[in-house]
Amino acid sequence: MLRRLPVNSAICQFSRRGGRRINQDRCAYSVTEEALLMVLADGMGGHPRGEVAARIAVEVVTGSFSRDANPHIAEPARFLASTLALAGETIGRYAADKHLSEVPGTTCVACLIQGGTAWWAHAGDSRLYHLRDGEMLFRTRDHSLVWELVERGLVGEEEAELLPERSIIYNCLGASTRLEVESGGDVRLEEGDVVLLCSDGLWSPLKTPEIVSAFQELPLEAALRGLMEEAEYREGATSDNVTGLALRFGGGTSALKPGGDRVATVFVELKD
């Protein structure tokens, strides 16, 4: 049997519409006694029914976990990659069934934690951060045109944050792009580590040190709420949807509620 999740691990998730007409973000977490799945999707505003694509992605990923976690996942890396691919295929079938002229698209990032180890996979620019003791140990790579320029050394990271093209992505679930799921992880977590999943509506207006310091200085829920409020405030009427899902591994004050042999899934409550 794998080691159970620390009973004092804390998790929270919030989503706000910002200045947009509808909220196209979705997220959820599923938990058993031995495994935790976190998933977040950001429907693409330039495509019809982006919120539907995001909903399908989250439902497919959590549904696959509910089916396969007995009570843990046998091959975490393969599970995440194949499940995101399945979500993309399901979005495509939805578009065909509805005779849509364009396939909806969504970013997606998912994280699986079991046995004290984390694995993740993503497509698009929704991010995963791994934080420890006031430092960022890892952040997923944005599948965006601007981030390609950063990796090629043509622009710096600070300059990239100011470019209006930073929201143009080349990889997602659905749409007309060829899906490329990027996987990572197999990383041991320590007590107090924070794993944050968030849409670009949260990370884009903020700097990484601000995100890191918030989770170092504040309880998990207060840190996430504060960051979301600050991101929305800075963008004002043009604020994107703002969504975050955060875990503090051990050292928390509110316990996860595993479902035992059954899987408990909690979907984010959408807020204006």
pLDDT at 254: 46
Q: Is 126:144 a contact under the CB 8 Å cutoff?
A: no
In the chain, the amino acid numbered 122 is H
Looking at per-residue confidence, does 153 or 224 come out higher? Answer: 224
Burial bucket for residue 188 (CB in 10 Å: 0-12, 13-18, 19+): exposed
Of residues 103 and 150, more confidently modeled: 103
Q: 10 Å Cβ neighbour count for 113?
A: 26
Q: Say if residue 210's pLDDT is above 70.
A: yes
Report the share of the chain in percent with pLDDT over 90. Answer: 74
From 1-10, 48-57, 179-188, the region with the lowest mean pLDDT = 1-10
Alpha helix (H) residue ranges in the chain = 50-68, 76-97, 145-151, 157-160, 200-203, 208-217, 220-235
pTM for this structure? 0.92
pLDDT exceeds 50 at position 242: yes
Cα torsion 197, 111, 77, 129 to 10°: value is 40
For the domain spanning 10-271, the CATH number is 3.60.40.10
Give the model's confidence band at 257: pLDDT under 50 very low, under 70 low, under 90 confident, else very high: low
Report residue 272's pLDDT band, with 50, 70 and 90 as the boundaries. Answer: low
- When pLDDT is averaged across residues 227-237 and rounded to a whole number, the result is 96
Torsion angle defined by CA atoms of residues 100, 269, 20 and 56, in that order, rounded to the nearest 10 degrees: -20
- What is the pLDDT at residue 167? 72
Residue 253: per-residue pLDDT? 47
Give the per-residue pLDDT at 157: 74
**Is the pLDDT confidence value at 180 over 60?**
yes
Task: Give the chain's length.
Answer: 272
The percent of residues in the chain predicted with pLDDT above 70, rounded, is: 90
Q: Residue 258: its pLDDT value, please?
A: 53
C-alpha 137/C-alpha 259 separation (Å) is 30
- pLDDT tens digit string along 111-167? 999 999 999 999 999 999 999 999 999 999 999 888 788 888 887 777 777 776 777
